[in-house]
Amino acid sequence: MHAPVFSPRAPVVPPRTVADVDRRDDRVPDPRATSPLTGSPPPGIRPVRTTVDPRLPDPAVVAALPPGHALLVVQRGPRAGEELTLDTDPALVGRHVDADICLDHVTVSRRHSEFLPYEGGHMVRDVGSLNGTYVNGVRVDATILRAGDEVQIGKYRLTYHCA
């Protein structure tokens, strides 16, 4: 019988035993876990802090908007977190520097879509873009916007918040 050949470069790892695998003292408790009786976290565990989503606008800012105005918050895209104001005039959105809202990305057409005032709010209309305009994941030619709607223009995702 031959003796096992070990390479001098390969480290020798001792075999693991059942005791190594079943160690319960090194488990970290889940900080979201709560006691079924008290509803509070177990002793020694700090509760997870809930924070306001930084991408949502301050409700006071939305409430302070004049009638007929709205706020677009960039959720995704190179300008994420930026807030854009819509007033009562039609606002052209596109890649062109003369657009009212310039979204500079290859997925945005030069003249992509426009936001139009409509009965105290706004509607969005695609103006012949190549990639289309989407509201809540559905491609649209034109639609009336409601508070919280997500408008996708190219790579950008914007949420609509009206006064």
What digits encode the pLDDT tens for the residues 129-152?
999 999 999 999 999 999 899 999
Highest average pLDDT, of 13-27, 28-42, 61-75, 130-144, comes from 130-144
**For position 110, what pLDDT does the model report?**
96
CA contacts within 13 A on the Cβ side of 21: 4
Residue-wise pLDDT for 63-106, tens only, equals: 778 888 888 999 988 888 888 888 868 999 999 999 999 999 99
Percent of the chain with pLDDT over 90: 41
Indicate the pTM of the whole model: 0.65
Phi, psi values for residue 118, rounded to 5° = -155, 110
- Rounded to the nearest 5 degrees, what angle is found at the Cα of 31, between the Cα atoms of 22 and 17? 10
Q: Identify residue 153 by its one-letter amino acid code.
A: I
H/E stretch holding 62 reads helix 59-63
Q: Which residue has the tokens 């900080």?
A: 31
**For position 12, what pLDDT does the model report?**
58
